Structure formats: structure tokens, C-alpha cells
Amino acid sequence: MDALRAGDEAAFVSLVRLYHPRLLRFAETLVPTRAVAEEVVQDTWLGVIKGIHKFEGRSSLRTWLFRVLVNRARSAGAREPRNIPLHDVDPLEGRFAANDHWRDPPETWSDRVDSKLVAEQVAARVRACLLQLPATQRQVITLRDLEGLDAADTCELLGVSVANQRVLLHRARSRVRSILDVELRGS
């Protein structure tokens, strides 16, 4: 932090290398297009440069970066129209019993992965599945499962309750599992 505050270019470059792909991935869940996401991330880095002296350390640097990104994305999102897909049928309907457990649990996909190449293909497919999720589910699963943020930081960044975050994460994971289950059974 001292190096960043002192304007150390190497420290900033190191920070950008570490977090730029992560910020871009999350920005894509907040705004309608990749181009807008790239602009939001660039604005985030400018905000970091201008505001690093305001960082008080009450949260982790990672959480602070994501907070700056969320604020920039909200500003950009207000300027950009967003298309929201409407779904007539809930693909999870009937997948759970009354006790909230799976009626028929999805097959563990990791048991079927034979090589790193196949694992990379499945990981790419999971990323593509995320695009099929509603925005809030995509945001929660990205922060929790891809970026490793804890529930409290995720709730704070997205402005959702702990219970809502838990439901959104469960639905996102279930929907991704459902999509992958259908695809893996079909292959």
C-alpha cells in the first residue's frame, strides 16, 4: 500500500496484472456488453489511482477494488440500456423435494473429467453457462465461486441481505449444474 500511495509504477502494474482479469469478469456481470465492461474497468483503475490515498484499510484491498468497480459500473449502467431476458418456465421447477434437497442429484462432473484438456473445456462451458443466469445470480456466483469473496463482502458489494445472497448463490449453482447435467448426460 505504501508503494501504491507513493506512486510506485511497478506496484500499480503488479496490482493491475493480478486484478484486471477478475475485475473485467465481474464487470461483465454488471453491464450489458464487454465493451462497456472494459470501460468500467478502465474507469476503476483511474479511480484507484486518484483515490488510493482514501483507502483506509477497513476492508481488504481486493474488496475495495471491487467496491470501486461496482460504483463505476452503476454509473455506466445508468447510461447504458440493459436487455433482460424473460423466462416463462423456471428450469429448476421440480428439481427439489419438499425438504429442499435434490430429487435427483446431478452427476459429479469431476468424476468424468479424464484430462486437463477436458477439464479446461468444462471450465469454459461453465463460464458460458454463467451467461445464461440472471444478472444478480451471475454476480453472486462470480464473486463467491470465481473470485473467492466471502458472503459478507459479497452482500456489501451488491447491497443484498445475507439470506438473499445465499438464495441467489444456491439458484445460480443449481442452474449451472442443471445445464451441465443435461449436456454431460447427452454426450
For the chain, domain boundaries: 2-79, 109-186
Pick the CATH number of 109-186 from 1.10.530.10, 3.40.50.2300, 1.10.10.10, 3.90.1200.10: 1.10.10.10
CB environment 63-84: b (16+ within 10 A), e (fewer): bbbbebbbebbeebbeeeeeee
Average pLDDT by stretches of 10, the chain with 187 residues = 83 92 91 90 91 85 91 73 51 66 65 62 80 90 89 91 92 88 72
Q: Specify the pTM.
A: 0.60
**Fold of the 2-79 domain:** Rna Polymerase Sigma Factor; Chain: A (1.10.1740)
Which positions ≥6 away from 180 have C-beta within 8 Å? 106, 109, 122, 125, 126, 129
pLDDT of residue 56: 83
pLDDT of residue 89: 55
